[in-house]
Amino acid sequence: MSLEKQLQEEYGTAKRASNFYRKQCLDHLNEMMIRFIAEQELMFIATSDKGGNCDSSIRAGEKGFVKVADEKTLLYPEYRGNGVYASLGNMAENPHVGILMVDFLNSTIGLHINGQAEIVENPGRVDDPRAERWVRVTVEEAYIHCSKHIPLLKKMDKKIHWNTDDEKLKGGNYFDVNNPAE
């Protein structure tokens, strides 16, 4: 028995969890999920290296920046970042990835997608001139994140400066990490 299932037994949620798996969890993307993905402008990704050291990050783009190739496959672009490649490095060691897309603006529903990630340089018929490379995710699980604790937010206009190295536009030393006075 997995530790997940053991905890469900220990905490008395096994029946509730079983209902969730049966009624809410798929091993593919259905049509409603595919439409949901097409409307999203951001997502959160979770990765870990082979030792279990975790990283979480945000990926954002214009509506439709995540492409669904078929019910078991999606692709998302990797735009120019800080050059650290923490997420991609983790994926190269451990292909498991967790994705969370949340509609903060309308439905306040989230979509979890867990699967296997692969870094691809040229995915074929997918085009985004800002993408440096792509990540292909083979879907293993897709399920809802219910809306009860997701806030409804209001979108404000902001000019996005894609692929910039301008420190002020990137946030500079916002957290005062590079403080020469110390």
pLDDT digits (tens, 9 = 90+) for 132-177: 999 999 999 999 999 999 999 999 998 888 888 888 888 878 888 8
Q: What is the pLDDT of residue 90?
A: 97
- Any idea what the Cα angle at residue 18 is, between residues 13 and 24, rounded to 5°? 115
For the chain, the domain total comes to 1
- Token pair, residue 173, equals 């030393």
Instruction: Calculate mean pLDDT across residues 49-77.
Output: 96
Q: Which amino acid is at 145?
A: H
The CB density around residue 133, as the number of other CB atoms within 10 Å, is 13
Q: Pick from 91, 32, 37: which is nearest to 61 by CA?
A: 37
Cα 177 to the chain's mean position, in Å? 27
Instruction: Calculate mean pLDDT across residues 100-110.
Output: 97
- Token pair, residue 40, equals 């999203």
In a domain, 37, yes or no: yes
Q: What is the pLDDT of residue 180?
A: 66
- Token pair, residue 118, equals 């692969």
Instruction: Calculate mean pLDDT across residues 99-119.
Output: 97
Q: pLDDT band for position 182 (50/70/90)? A: low
Domain CATH number, residue 72: 2.30.110.10
Whole-number Å distance between alpha carbons of 136 and 120: 7
Q: pLDDT band for position 181 (50/70/90)? A: low
Among 41-55, 99-113, 144-158, 165-179, the minimum mean pLDDT is found in 165-179
In a domain, 180, yes or no: no
In a domain, 39, yes or no: yes
Query: In terms of residue numbers, what domain contains 89?
Result: 29-154
Give 115's strand partners.
Answer: 97, 139
Q: What is the pLDDT of residue 177?
A: 84
Number of H helices, E strands in the chain: 5, 7
